[in-house]
Structure formats: C-alpha cells, structure tokens
Amino acid sequence: MAHTRRHFFYGALLAGAVPTAGFGSVASMKFAGYKSPNEKLNFAAIGSGGQGASNLGAAAPTENIVALCDVDDRRAAPSFNRYPTATKYKDFRQMLDKEAKNIDSVIVATPDHMHATAAIWCMERGKNVYVQKPLVRTIWEARQLRAAAAKYGVATQMGNQGYSNEGTRQCAEIVWNGDIGAVSEVHAWSDRPLWPQGLTEIPKEEPVPATLDWDLWLGPAEKRPFTAGGATEPDRWGGFFYQPFNWRGFYDFGCGALGDMACHILGAPNMALHLSKRKIVGVECIKKEGTSPFMFPKVSVIRYDFAAYGDMPALKIFWYDGLKQNPTVPGVPEGEWIGDPPSIVRNQPAGAPGAGGPGGPGARRPGGGPGMMRPAGNDFHSPGRVFNYDDFKAMKDPEAKLRFPTPDGSVFLGDKGVLTTGTYGEVTRLLPVEKMKDYQMPAPLLTRSPGHMRDFIRACKGGDPACSNFDVAAPFVEWMLLGVIALRHEGKLEYDPDKMRITNNVEANKLLKPVFRKGWEFHTVKS
C-alpha cells in the first residue's frame, strides 16, 4: 500500500519527471527513422573524434556505422581507422546531401556552437539525433531543437549519461518518499575546467595544420585567425589554443565548466526536484576569479533561486566549479564523504600515485577525457555503481589504501536529512552513511534505463522516447544556460520564460540567441 500511497501523493509531481510516454520499453510511436527492433540502424557522426568516438563505440556493437564527418583528420583518425567501410567527410552538409538515404540516426559531438545547426539540418531530413551535452549554446537554440523534434517526429537524446543511471532514479525516489523531508537547498560542484580559462590575450596567428579545415571548424562563429598558441603538440589536456579540446572555455564556442558538467551533476537534482517545471526567481554569479574578455572565468560560484513547486518549497541551488577539493557545505555531518567517494586501491604498492589524498595524479576524472585513470579494486565512479554498505565499511578500515577522486557531486539538504550523489547520480546515499546500514530503498516509481545509448536506439526503433529526449533536455538546459549568461554579467538576472526574456538586463538579454555567420543558419521552427 505504501507504493500506492506514494503514487497518489506524487502523481502531479511525477508528471514533470519523465517523458510524456515514460521511460518504459513498450513501443509507443514510430518515428520518421523507424526500424523494427530486429533491424540495425545506420548511424552517422558529426564530430567523430573525442566524445564522438566514445558515442560511436556505444552504438557500434548492435548498429551499423555508415558515415563519419570531422573537420580534423588528426582528431578523427582513430574512428576513421576503426570503421574503415564508413564513408568519410569534412563538411556535414555534404554528408547529409550524399548519404541522406543511407542514414537513420546521427550523433552530433562537435563543439557546442555547432550543435543546433547540425542537429536541425539532420532533423529536417528525418534523421534521429543524439546530441552531446549541453545540447546547445543558447536558450533560443534549445527551444528550436525541441520544436524541430516535434515537427519532424524524430527520436532524440541529449548526451547526459547520468540521466540513465540507477542512482539518479534512486535519488528522485528517496526525495519523493519524504526520507529527507522538504529540500530547500542543493550544492553541486566540479573540478572542471580542466582546460585553460580566464586567459586575457590571444596568441599571434599561425598556419592552419594541413589536417584541419579551420573555416569548417568555425562554422557559424565569426571568422578569426587560427592559432595553436605556439604549441606543436597538444597540451596536457589534449588541446591547442582553441581546438580540439580547449574551445569549451571560449564564449563563442562553449559554455565553460557549467556547460560541460552541470548536465551531468545537476541531472539528479533536476529530476528529483522538478527544476525544469519551476519558475526561476533569479540567477547570479556570486563569485568569480580569473576573468577574461573572451573566456569564462577560472573559478566561479553561481546561485539559482527557484520558486516552490507543488508541495515542494522554494529552493536554492549553488554551483561551484574550478574546485581542488569538495566544498564545505553547512548541514553536512562532520567527517562524511560527499559526492564521489574514494575507492579502495588493491594490488598496488603503498606509494602508488593517487593512493593518498584527493585529486592526486592518479585520481580518476569522472566523465572521461584527458587525465582519466581507473583505479584497481572497487571503482565507485563507474556510472552504474550503486551504494553498498559493506564497501563503505571496508573503506573505513585503517589499513585500507584509498584513492580519492577529483571533487564532483551534489548534496541535498532537507529538513529531515541529507542526501548526496556522485557525478552521474551514482552511489546515492543518505548522510551520515550509517543510516544506510539497514536502509531499504523506496519501491521504484520510475522505470529503469537499459543504458543511455541503448535508450536512444530503442526510441529510434519505435520504443518510448529516450529518458533525455528534447522534451526533457531542452527545459533542463534552458535554466542551466541562464547561469552561463550570469557568468558574463554582474548582479542577479531576472527571467521571464513566457517571453524568453531577461527582464532587468538589456545586454544579458542579447545572449539568449546566437548570431550566425552567413551560410550556417537553419530554418526557424515555430513552437
């Protein structure tokens, strides 16, 4: 009966937590690119190196990889070699023209400034799209992608893998079960940026590498000279001045650390607390260090204020980035690990790198990318990992050798208790952790995902919409991107979602919509 009562009590709230047709596995509608579940989809990728290569690897075991596009032959070489029968392109517009009849679904894993143009060109042609987080650079583009998905009837998914995790759903169900009471404050944090931010000078122009089409890389962005910053080899994070990795820190190309990690780390709060359904009272950058005229700051703290929703009270969300260690959060029991917990190091000598303190050279960087290492033993940061009390008990052993991850995670402060999650919602647990010794997770209210790419593939084949389809992802991204704008302006921003307008700052309001270079526009979709 408890399960039934919770369904009754939270029925209205659940309406905002899942796609219209749910997360389930029952076939609902047949999208434009529909194939029988027994048939293979033909996948293409726009952006085939880096994260694109990872996404291709998730699709390849069950589907066909038929076309690859990348403006940088050097960056894409591993994928080009891995899928030798796929046709290769530099310009995605040419790929779509020539391969339209051969492609069912497209992975878009370019820099953020290219996402909307590439995705809408695909959807206009009836192609399902998997678009990397943070989906887009601007709020107007987020709304355009949502409208286009509805107009063209295609399957969609944003690449925020944590939305598929067991721990993310457990987090929501614990909150909805009332186990920590009314939540009025959430703190979320990241060690990102791992790339340079806060630079104040642009290096002199240099020749464009023979393997790179610089004009195509710029795409809709304003033209500018190429520079590698004097480097002949990638820096420690895999990039030169702009590309292939450091673009995230530039206003014109990325969304900074917030855009890189908030779609992951704030995924559990977004689902559990229905943030996409709430009115935003205000957004403000309350701290920043290392500012720049063309880049995001080195360190920042952002505060979001949300109105009450249903029986949930008004809420404050604090976002921290550029951290070297976890933040001090008032209300967290002393001595408790928050966010990503450490892992036990097994079969390594006592002096092994990373066996000591937080963020050491051997620490794993959740989310992959440069600098990631997987420790031996019980890796708590595997996206599918759920809480296990015996593991935590073993880590408290004075003889245990621990590897501490870089700081990433979130904490929920309720009037009856405290809850913490890892980067992708993994290892969700109450604090103090001793509460978990005999704790029974609430009966599931949300159906479970088979995996983020599997979720998308299922939707492409006529199953229910993927868990982070654009009806879910675009509203999530909209409130998150207000923080990206707040990073560039002083004071609190006030936002009217009905008019899609920042009402108290004319200059900030200009950042809601991008300016496209000629030839890179897309057809506006009326919502």
What confidence tens digit (pLDDT) does each residue in 129-185 have?
A: 999 999 999 999 999 999 999 999 999 999 999 999 999 999 999 999 999 999 999
pLDDT confidence of residue 234 = 72
SS3 73: helix
pLDDT confidence of residue 238 = 62
Instruction: Tell me the CA distances in angstroms from 12 to 9, 187, 310, 479, one per residue in order.
Output: 8, 26, 8, 21
Which among 170, 197, 176 is positioned nearest to 253, based on CA atoms? 197
The residues of the chain scoring below 70 in pLDDT are 1-34, 38, 236-238, 347-384
pLDDT confidence of residue 236 = 66
Contact 264, 367 (CB under 8 A): yes
pLDDT confidence of residue 392 = 93
Query: 407-463: per-residue pLDDT in tens?
Result: 999 999 999 999 999 999 999 999 999 999 999 999 999 999 999 999 999 999 999
pLDDT confidence of residue 350 = 47
Q: Measured between alpha carbons, how far is 372 from 366 in angstroms, rounded to an integer?
A: 7
Contact 115, 89 (CB under 8 A): no
pLDDT confidence of residue 94 = 97
User: For residues 170, 171, 176 and 181, what is the CA-based torsion angle, rounded to 10 degrees?
Assistant: 130
Distance, first Cα to last Cα, the chain? 42
Contact 42, 103 (CB under 8 A): yes
Q: Which sign, positive or negative, has the C-alpha torsion 168, 174, 178, 182?
A: negative
Structure tokens at 268: 């559990």
pLDDT confidence of residue 33 = 60
Q: Is the pTM of this model over 0.75?
A: yes
